[in-house]
Structure 1
Amino acid sequence: MSGKERINVFPSRMAMAIMKARLKGAQKGHSLLKKKADALTMRFRQILKKIIETKVMMGDVMKEASFSLAEAKFTTGDFNHMVLQNVARAQIKIRSKKDNVAGVTLPVFEHYMDGSDSYELTGLSRGGQQIDKLKKNYQKAVQLLVELASLQTSFVTLDEVIKITNRRVNAIEHVIIPRIERTLSYITTELDEREREEFYRLKKVQEKKKKVRKEKEAAALELKMQGIQMEEAANLLEDDKDEDLLFND
Structure 2
Amino acid sequence: MGDDNQRENVFPTRQSLGLMKTKLKGATTGHSLLKRKSEALTKQFRTIIKSIDDTKMEMGRTMQLAAFSLAEMSYVTGDEVKYQILESARTSSCRLKTKHENISGVFLPVYECVINNENDHRLIGLGKGGQQVQKCQETHIKAINILVKLASLQVFYPPKSPAINNVDRLYHPRRRHQNYKPQKNTIKYINSELEELEREDFTRLKKIQVKKKRDIDSENKKYTSAAPSDASTPSSCPSSLGVPPPSALQTADDDDIIF
Which of 166, 169, 175 lines up with 1:167 in the alignment?
169
Give the total of aligned pairs: 219
Give the match for residue 95 of structure 2: 93
CA shift, 1:146, in A, is 1.4
TM-score by length of 2: 0.64
Cα distance in 2 for residues equivalent to 1:134 and 1:21: 66
Q: Is the 8 A contact 2:111 2:148 kept in 1?
A: yes
Sort the Cα spacing of 1:160 and 1:34 in 2 relative to 1 into closer, same or farther, 3 A: same
1:40-55 equivalences in 2 (<5 Å): 40-55=41-56
1:198 is displaced (CA, Å) by: 8.1
Q: Evaluate the alpha carbon distance shift between residue 10 and residue 170 of structure 1 in structure 2; reply closer, same or farther with a 3 A threshold.
A: farther
More helix by share: 1
Shift of the 13–134 alpha-carbon distance from structure 1 to 2, 3 Å rule, reads: same
In structure 2, what is the equivalent of residue 16 of structure 1?
17
Report the more deviating stretch, 122-131 or 54-63. Answer: 122-131
Report the equivalent of 2:238: none
Q: Does 1:25 align with 2:29?
A: no
Secondary structure, aligned partner of 2:63: helix
Give the Å deviation of 1:56: 1.0
Q: Do the aligned partners of 1:11 and 1:187 also contact (CA within 8 Å) in 2?
A: yes
Shift of 1:142: 0.7
- Equivalents in 1 of 2:2, 2:172: separation in Å? 16
Deviation digits for residues 85-134 of structure 1 (CA, Å, limit 9, x no counterpart): 22222111122334343444443322222251121232324544443333
Match of 2:179 in 1: 176
Contact 1:123 / 1:132 at 8 angstroms: preserved in 2? no
Query: Structure 1 length normalisation: TM-score?
Result: 0.66
Shift of 1:189: 4.4
Distance change (3 Å), C-alpha of 1:98 and 1:2: farther
Post-superposition offset of 1:180? 1.7
**Do the aligned partners of 1:54 and 1:148 also contact (CA within 8 Å) in 2?**
yes
Separation in structure 2 between the aligned mates of residue 63 and residue 8 of structure 1, nearest angstrom? 71
2:115 paired residue among 108, 113, 116: 113
Query: Are 1:73 and 1:79, in contact at CA under 8 Å, matched by a contact in 2?
Result: yes
> 1:150 is aligned with what amino acid?
S
Q: Is the 8 A contact 2:62 2:142 kept in 1?
A: yes
Between the aligned partners of 2:84 and 2:69, the Cα distance in structure 1 is 17
Residue type at the aligned position of 1:145:
L
- Cα distance change, pair 65–18 in 1 and its aligned pair in 2 (3 A): same
- Equivalence map 1:1-249=2 (5 Å): 5-75=6-76, 76-77=78-79, 79-170=81-172, 173-191=176-194
Deviates more, 1:15-24 or 1:63-72: 63-72
CA contact (8 A) 1:122 1:129 kept: no
SS at match of 1:95: strand
What is the SS of the residue equivalent to 2:23?
helix
Unpaired segments ≥5 residues, structure 2: 219-259
Identity %: 38
Q: Is the 8 A contact 1:122 1:132 kept in 2?
A: no
